[in-house]
Structure 1
């Protein structure tokens, strides 16, 4: 996709739709809320950092931002098409970073994307899809000017750390549901609805793991590679984000194993219950078979059958049948079939 070149004429005002916040900072303190067409002039001032937050901007707005910071066409194309995997790319002295976000909506994990442009004196965040607003990140950074004074690489760290931290509420909610399903599975036979839910949870967790997995490599490069705009003093902070991502991966793997165990346990419980029912049915069939066999024999239409002329034959046969049936019942109770 090729974008038209922009002449160096005075910038025209652009629509504020899609712009969540645009501010200039000096020594960690906000000095002005700015318009997009003013960003380049504020960035050019010594010691100033411009922080712009966008949410699902249209191409016109992205091109306006591109014009202010001389962003690469390929990075703008990626930011306009929100179907990227987590990655980090260097264009000249600037960085383009993609991270995946996640939220739990109506019991399902919904995914979004955040695209970050980082360069000398500026950071632009572009959010698409399901994502928590970064207003909380901005407020937290502004409440600590000393930390924000570190510059654009600290803002980058704060946003990435916020993205990773927001995976935890999703996992905690799923973990509670997994525990409830596990308890229900051991107590009652699993239903079709529960089977479908187990499958969807495992699939969503796998999608979440695939979405955040490449973020480890992004943070590793920020920590170890000599990338522009990332100072050596910031590398321990990016290492901390890497550790958080790996911890999230371990929790996801653990929950997927629990779900697999719950499904297998439900199958075993179901098989055990079917076996118990089969044993009971077999036991009663064996007990009923005794009087059925005797009645069948003596119900045949033959004139000469032994014991037909016995005075107490009926009582003897009935007592014998009752004795055998009682013996079988006692035996099956003893072995746990009844």
Structure 2
């Protein structure tokens, strides 16, 4: 099936054989082996078969099939059901892709199910198979290896968003009254909030996996490794919070600079309006058609008034220029 990426049995830290789905129940009956099954976007029929082979709870199967779950960890008897969000950066269009990965962890099996995710776990499987001394600790180590790989993919995405934030800050102080900057800030902030929503529950998930009540699903030696994922999750959330604060400051700076620029425009309009008001006022006075106006019959009245208007306008222009209104 195209939905089955890989299915194999392991014993003593070594790969034994590839398995068909219908043969899994026979391997699960052996105490010295465990099964690692990887699925991608399985259909309902495959999920039903999965439920029968591993004895999974129907509610967990329903969640795993429908996807669109929040990151969480739930216990169904002696089986753990874990949901994580996988984040990747599409280098072709610089877009952030968010997929979903589900895990079923039993005492002698691990099932990983990917939904709408471009990440592959081929490298993870190879790395696990090259460390037999850890792989022999059971499926708990496999769960750690996959979770660690997923969390590591968060950092390039956050670094990319931080670079976008730096570019926005440069644009804020380099350009004037660019409405696209405010829009881009809100878009970037929405992406950070979305990543925060999927990364924050990782702290609780790792805390529960490190607790002693996960025996015997996770070997005590492997529980220490989940502390590393916990540290990464805390660091990721701190980076997101810092970026959000920086975005808020950038938005405030952009709004302040926009307000200052608009005030500068208003001052220029006011200055030019005052200058234009001089000839308008003089034209209004001499356009009232009074009969007895001494300047009307003066030979030099027109050039005198004209030079007076020009001179007064030049004085106002000098004053506003000195005051940096123009």
Tell me the residue number matched to 2:235.
Answer: 247
Tell me the residue number matched to 2:218.
Answer: 230
1:1-338 residue pairs with structure 2 within 5 A?
Answer: 16-105=1-90, 106-189=93-176, 191-228=178-215, 229-338=217-326
Q: How far apart are 1:269 and its partner, in Å?
A: 2.3
In structure 1, C-alpha distance between the alignment counterparts of 2:246 and 2:137, rounded to whole Å: 43
In structure 2, C-alpha distance between the alignment counterparts of 1:219 and 1:80, rounded to whole Å: 23
TM-score (norm 1): 0.87
In structure 2, C-alpha distance between the alignment counterparts of 1:25 and 1:284, rounded to whole Å: 84
Distance 1:193 1:321, change over 3 A: closer
State the Cα RMSD in Å. 2.1
In structure 1, C-alpha distance between the alignment counterparts of 2:85 and 2:249, rounded to whole Å: 29
SS at match of 1:226: helix
Q: How far apart are 1:154 and its partner, in Å?
A: 0.9
Q: How far apart are 1:161 and its partner, in Å?
A: 1.0
Q: How far apart are 1:218 and its partner, in Å?
A: 0.9
Q: How far apart are 1:217 and its partner, in Å?
A: 0.8
SS at match of 1:62: helix
SS at match of 1:301: coil
Unpaired segments ≥5 residues, structure 1: 1-15
In structure 2, C-alpha distance between the alignment counterparts of 1:84 and 1:133, rounded to whole Å: 20
Aligned pair count reads 323
In structure 2, C-alpha distance between the alignment counterparts of 1:164 and 1:245, rounded to whole Å: 7
Q: How far apart are 1:114 and its partner, in Å?
A: 1.2
In structure 2, C-alpha distance between the alignment counterparts of 1:89 and 1:146, rounded to whole Å: 29
Q: How far apart are 1:52 and its partner, in Å?
A: 0.8
Greater displacement, 106-115 / 223-232: 106-115
In structure 2, C-alpha distance between the alignment counterparts of 1:270 and 1:218, rounded to whole Å: 44
Q: How far apart are 1:107 and its partner, in Å?
A: 4.9
Q: How far apart are 1:257 and its partner, in Å?
A: 2.6
Distance 1:248 1:288, change over 3 A: same
Q: How far apart are 1:74 and its partner, in Å?
A: 2.1
Q: How far apart are 1:191 and its partner, in Å?
A: 4.4
CA contact (8 A) 1:113 1:128 kept: yes
CA contact (8 A) 1:189 1:266 kept: no
CA contact (8 A) 1:215 1:245 kept: yes
Distance 1:270 1:52, change over 3 A: same
CA contact (8 A) 1:213 1:249 kept: yes
In structure 2, C-alpha distance between the alignment counterparts of 1:91 and 1:318, rounded to whole Å: 95
Unpaired segments ≥5 residues, structure 2: none
